[in-house]
Structure 1
Amino acid sequence: MQFHCNGTAIEIAVDQLIVAGWTGRNIEAVQHHIDELAAIGVAPPSTVPLYYRVSNALLTQDDAIQVVGEESSGEVEPLLLKVAGNLYLGLGSDHTDRGLEAHSVAASKQICAKPVASEVWAFDEVADHLDQIELKCSIKEDGAWVAYQDGTLASIRPLAELMAGADFADNMAMLCGTLGAIGGVRPASDYKMEMVDPVLGRSLAFGYQARNLPVIS
């Protein structure tokens, strides 16, 4: 897979893809996310954080993914990549099947593609102000874009801590957790996601569609 950083192309053959879950820094925020998922039937985690190993083939830069049924939704998340000893910060979505999540969180993570932005930042350039970096997600409802998630990386456990917990190494990628959903977790077909660096005055952005496939038996 190819990414771009400051105009330079970066090739990475991802050997391992990890989805870190329950990564809120504030225990009350973690409980809020647990509660909002419990409201749709998802069992609480055995421990926090958790590191779900999923297929590396799930990563995609396509502007549309296909999902089975109408119960999936996306989540804006920071993305970490390590290539030849160099660390990069990007932007992705942990798209998840909420219906399946009620039976198995691990399976729900595995069944959906994980869209990511093609642009990344060198981690060293943002390491001293990570908590100020903003994450935003909008979804389309009734033909209009509405705010779905909005917060900063200060709400997520320090990325260095998450990397240490995952034994993060070369040719690995990790989605690092998300923010609470404004109005509750719910399905949507269209997403716009953005990561804003207010210190260096720049942003990463991408969007995608989730196209539903029929459920047949």
Structure 2
Amino acid sequence: MTLDFRAGGAALSLDLAHLIVAGWTGRDADAIAHHIEELAALGVPAPSATPLYYRVSAPLLTMATRIEVVGTASSGEVEPLLVISDGKRYLGLASDHTDRALETYSVAMSKQVCAKPCAAELWDWDEIADRIEEIELQSWIEEDGDWTLYQSGTLAAIRPLADLMTGSRAEALAQDGPVAMLCGTFGAKGGVRPAARFRMEMRDPATGRVIRHEYDTVTLPEVA
């Protein structure tokens, strides 16, 4: 499936060969411990190592503004999206939407069963590489008809994206074709919880440029 991105005002159509979800990528050991405890409260087992690189189906990455999930236990997470194509790197915005109920059984499987919404715009990596850690990410969820700030931070809180590229072997995988990787996130304010609507943005404070995306979640019935 072709994803029609925009990069520097130009169209960039990509057929992804690989999609990676990097987890447990926090740079601060205390922040990682907090996130592990946060998910442990939901029954999610601690990771075998940090970070971890989950391989998921490439077609899960979508620009759709509506996704479908089974049951009411899934939720989104704002993340930087690294894209590598034809030797060039780009930075974008995505949500690692995850089934939290399945996550208590298998984190890898929980990553595979949900679509990963992303914004259509990408920034040229070379244009922001010298200030990458200043890039700001935020997300909001709709609760009781109002938008509630759910996550907020800068890329300085996440392991260097260049290190994640090395650890995931993303550039080697890119020999097969375009690769995308979701690169981790921050803890949720008030705890991880589901919401029918999710809004996210990435901002470059040096230029004021902003990438935004918003999506709705449609709940399908759980049939036993």
Using the size of structure 2 for normalisation, the TM-score is 0.96
Structure-1 separation of matches of 2:217 and 2:162 = 31
Give matches, 1:112-123, under 5 Å: 112-123=114-125
Q: Which amino acid letter does the alignment assign opposite residue 194 of structure 2? A: P
1:49 is the counterpart of 2:51: yes
Tell me the equivalent position of 1:5.
7
Q: Which amino acid letter does the alignment assign opposite residue 192 of structure 1? A: R
Q: Report the Cα offset of residue 74 of structure 1.
A: 0.2
Post-superposition Cα deviations, 1:136-158, rounded to whole Å, max 9, x if no partner, equal: 00000011100000010011000
Q: Report the Cα offset of residue 12 of structure 1.
A: 1.3
SS where residue 62 of structure 1 aligns? coil
Tell me the equivalent position of 1:145.
147
Q: How many residues align?
A: 217
1:78 is the counterpart of 2:80: yes
Which among 33, 43, 65 is matched to residue 35 of structure 2? 33
1:182 is the counterpart of 2:189: yes
Structure-2 separation of matches of 1:166 and 1:46 = 16
Q: What are structure 2's unaligned runs of at least 5 residues?
A: none
SS where residue 170 of structure 2 aligns? coil
Structure-2 separation of matches of 1:128 and 1:113 = 31
Q: Report the Cα offset of residue 131 of structure 1.
A: 1.1
Bigger Cα displacement from structure 2, 4-13 vs 107-116 = 4-13
Give matches, 1:13-32, under 5 Å: 13-32=15-34
Tell me the equivalent position of 1:193.
200
Q: Report the Cα offset of residue 200 of structure 1.
A: 1.6
Q: What are structure 1's unaligned runs of at least 5 residues?
A: none
Give matches, 1:62-101, under 5 Å: 62-101=64-103
Aligned residues with identical type, % of pairs: 57
Q: Which amino acid letter does the alignment assign opposite residue 206 of structure 2? A: V
Tell me the equivalent position of 2:213.
206
Q: Which amino acid letter does the alignment assign opposite residue 45 of structure 2? A: A
Structure-2 separation of matches of 1:38 and 1:195 = 28
Q: Report the Cα offset of residue 174 of structure 1.
A: 0.1
Using the size of structure 1 for normalisation, the TM-score is 0.99
Which among 132, 135, 155 is matched to residue 134 of structure 2? 132
Structure-1 separation of matches of 2:205 and 2:47 = 34
Q: Which amino acid letter does the alignment assign opposite residue 79 of structure 2? A: E
Q: Which amino acid letter does the alignment assign opposite residue 159 of structure 1? A: L
